[in-house]
Structures are given as structure tokens and as C-alpha cells.
Amino acid sequence: MRILVVGAGVIGTIYGGRLALAGHEVTVLVRGRRRAELEAHGLVLEDALSGERRKIAVTSLAELPADPRFDLALVAVRDRQLTSLLPVLDRLEGATEILFFLNCPLRVADLVARYGADRVRFGFPGAGGVHDGERIRYVIVRQQPTTFGPVAGQDRARCNSIAQIFGQAGFATALVSDMEAWLKSHAFFVVAICGALYTAGGRSAQLAADTKRLLALISGVREGLNCLRKLGVTPSPAKLRVMAYLPRPLVVPALRRFFASRLAALAIDGHANAAPDDMCDLARDCRHMIAASGVSAPTMLSLCAEVERRAAAATAA
């Protein structure tokens, strides 16, 4: 399959690299210093748990060719970068499916309208990592598989076919019935985590040791999911719905074990601390959903404010 990866940050590198290793013809659309790194070294992946390092040669482009022919475009950028990229994506021929692989819970309807339900897809990565020189140190997060699902009445079968492609590249995958609902649910989950994480010094290990912050995280998620229900959205996936109903004394130990793990430090801390602006955009989306629902969500709003404070401090630094 001819795959265009738009963006060569952590996620674009992980997925582009492993898809290339699986035998796909991968081209990366990237500019500036990162393109120079790719031309000099290729995509450099290091499994943070095993230490295995791979250098993968791929084609890199600063601009699309005059006649861009790809089977799939994997868009792995931050939400605030997407608007400026849309004119670039507009140039892709109609046969190219476009897979949006980012936090974009409130953009789904607009993107479907722009590109058509027959070619636009949505998914979310189940991996994380950090830049370390020219390499990306990464982990595959099997607790949150790489997730795909239909939106706007799309055919579930095509989503399953795409999931199989990623599964063959070594990613744990999952298919949900409504990807838009999943993205909205995930927004509340991630913002609650980051709001609590930032008050704990940006360290999962410190968050794991603080019961008060873990309880605030749980309360924030539950308030967010209540807002979605009020909006007529069924929270997804099922395990997140279960978290909303389990007694707190059962949920806290499970969260504590996860946040105390090396996996959490690698998969969560790196991106949360490197991209507070991305988390701030997601907090904005959560605020919009809370306001639209009319449901009281004081803890979730407080966690949104923590995310916004961290982003403001990073901007001022």
C-alpha cells in the first residue's frame, strides 16, 4: 500500500516506521529540521522497553508532487496544525483515503463534510514516546489499543480492514462502533489525566502516590461522561463507562498501579509535558461540550483550568 504520513513527530514516526517495516511504501510529508534529520538518518525508532533500535529509510517530501497518488494518507499532527494543512490535503486525489489520527473530537462533522464519508476515516494511536535526538523512544500501549471506528453511518467493514493493516504492523488494535463518541470520551479522559498530572509536577509516579489527585481525576471523568450522555452521546469504550460506575475504592488502586508503572512514565509524561498546547486545545473542546450540555462539571472545569495554566506557563517561558 502507498501510504503518505503527514507529520513526522512522535506518532508519525512510530506509525510510519512500523508500517514501512511491514512492507508498505511510506512517504513522509515533513519540513524544516525534521526533514533534514529524516534525510540523514531515516526514521529512527527505539523500543523503550526492549532497547531495540531500527533505522528505516523512507521518502520524505516538503511538498506534495503535482500528481499525488497514495492509497492512504495518515494525518498525524496536532489539532492546531490541522487547519493550515487542509489545503494540502485538498490536493490529494479522490481515491486517497484520509485517516485523521489525532485529538479532533469537535472536527469530525466538518472533516466528513469536506472530504466525504466515503474517504475520510478516524483513528487514534495506541503508542507514545519522546524525541531523543534524531530517534524516537517509544512504547506500544496495549492498555489503549490503536483504535478505529466508523462515523456518520460509515461501513464498519472498511474500518476493520484498516485496523488489520495496522495490526499486521505490530500494533494492538480495537474497533469501536462510533469513533466520534470515542474521541469525545477520550478528550475528557485525557484532560482529566493531564490536569491531575500537571498538579503533580508532570510526573505519573508522583500522581500515583496522591489519592486526592486520583479522586479528582475520577470525578472529572465522571462529570465529563455525564455531559456526553446529556448531549445524547454514549461514552466509549465500554471500560471507560465501567470506570464511571465502579466504586472509587476499586478504581483508585487500579489507577495507582498504572501511573506508578514505567509504561505510564514513557507513554503519558513525555507527550503531556512536551505538548501542553495540544492538551490546552483539548481542554477547550471539553469546555465547549460542558457548556453545550448544561451539566454542572466543577471538577472537570478545574482540571481544564490546570491544563490551561500549564500551557500559558509554557508559552511564557
What is the distance between the alpha carbons of residues 317 and 179, in angstroms, rounded to a whole number? Answer: 36
Q: What is the pLDDT of residues 48-77, one digit of tens each?
A: 889 999 999 999 999 998 889 999 999 999
pTM of the model: 0.95
> What is the DSSP pairing of strand 43-47 with strand 25-29?
unpaired
According to the model, what pLDDT value does residue 280 have?
Answer: 96
Residue bearing the bigger pLDDT, 67 or 106: 106
> What is the DSSP pairing of strand 173-175 with strand 59-61?
unpaired
Q: Which residue has the cell 494540502?
A: 88
**Mean per-residue pLDDT over the chain, rounded:** 94
Bridge partner residues of 43 (DSSP): 56
- Is the pLDDT at 317 greater than 80? The verdict is no
Q: Tell me the pLDDT band of 155, cut-offs 50, 70 and 90.
A: confident
Q: What is the pLDDT of residues 172-183, one digit of tens each?
A: 999 999 999 999
Three state DSSP letters for 38-98: HHHHCEEEEECCCCCEEEECCEEECCCCCCCCCCEEEECCCHHHHHHHHHHHHCCCCCCEE
According to the model, what pLDDT value does residue 310 have?
Answer: 97
What is the distance between the alpha carbons of residues 227 and 297, in angstroms, rounded to a whole number? Answer: 8
Query: How confident is the model over 280-292, as a mean pLDDT?
Result: 98
Query: How confident is the model over 111-128, as a mean pLDDT?
Result: 95
> Please, are residues 59 and 35 in contact by the beta-carbon 8 Å criterion?
no
> Please, are residues 18 and 170 in contact by the beta-carbon 8 Å criterion?
yes
Q: In this prediction, what percent of the chain has a pLDDT beyond 90?
A: 80
Q: 88: part of which helix (H) or strand (E)?
A: helix 79-90
According to the model, what pLDDT value does residue 91 have?
Answer: 95
Distances in whole angstroms, Cα of residue 134 to Cα of each of 3, 49, 70, 90, 146: 22, 18, 27, 30, 24
Q: Which residue has the cell 517561558?
A: 317
> Please, are residues 86 and 114 in contact by the beta-carbon 8 Å criterion?
yes
Among 85-89, 110-114, 219-223, 241-245, which stretch is predicted with the lowest mean pLDDT?
Answer: 241-245
Q: What is the pLDDT of residues 212-271, one digit of tens each?
A: 999 999 999 999 999 999 999 999 999 898 888 899 999 999 999 999 998 898 889 988
SS3 19: helix
